[in-house]
Amino acid sequence: MAKTQLNVRVDEGTARAARERALERGMSVNRYIEELVRQDTGEAGHTFVEAAADFMKQYESVFAEEFGADREGTREGRR
C-alpha cells in the first residue's frame, strides 16, 4: 500500500498522549494514528468479524460436538 504524508497540528497535551500511548503499545506514532483511523472507520471491526466467522466455520464441528443441542438445557439453567 502506498503511503501518503499527512501533517496535522495538535496541542502539546494531545501530542504527548499520542506518543505515550504509541510507546505503551510498542509502535510508532504513525502506526498508532493509522490504527485509530481504521478503528474509527470500521475497518478493524470488519476484519475481526471476518476472522471470527472464518474461525467458526473452521471449528464448527468441534463446537457442535462440545456444545450441541443436547447441552441446550444446561446452558439455559445457568442464566
**Per residue in 31-44, pLDDT tens?**
999 988 888 777 66
pTM: 0.52
What is the three-class DSSP state of 5?
Answer: coil
Mean pLDDT of 51-62: 87
> If you ran DSSP here, which 8-state letter would residue 7 be given?
-
- Which residues, in sequence order, are CB contacts of 27 under 8 Å at separation 6+? 35
All cell numbers assigned to 2: 502506498
CA 79/CA 77 separation, integer angstroms: 6
